Copies of this chain bind each other. A is one copy, B any other.
């Protein structure tokens, strides 16, 4: 199963609403089950550097089927996955990337958000996920 464009749009719409609520400017990316970009939106004035970060967060979340922040806990100096970020043309391993599941629990894609604190990034990504699951 693969996320549809309609589902991806709904995720982005919900994420944009959450960002507006928080008063932050976000880049929001959605990838499909093959980690290929499906939909993307950058809010007016959002950080340019977060275009790539949001896409990499979405890809990272699908690459390992877990929240990006979970990987970041393991990739610290001395951690078991230290410097895993050098793989796959660059991973982003701090919070803001979350896998997207369908009703049956199967992963159909992932969302990545970047543009504010990692707490805000995660909250906005979570709002996107909730719009689908």
Q: Give the residue name and chain of the B residue nearest to A92 (CB).
A: B87
> Cα distance A2–B93 when bound, in Å?
27
> Is A37's CB within 8 Å of the partner chain B?
yes
> Cα distance A36–B118 when bound, in Å?
22
> Cα distance A63–B115 when bound, in Å?
10
Asked whether B84 lies within 8 Å of A94 as measured between CB atoms, the reply is yes
Residues of A within 8 A of B (CB): 2, 4-5, 8-9, 32-44, 47-53, 56, 60, 62-65, 72, 75-78, 80-88, 90-95, 117-118
The 6 lowest CB-CB distance pairs between A and B, nearest first, are A34-B34, A49-B63, A40-B40, A86-B90, A85-B86, A83-B85
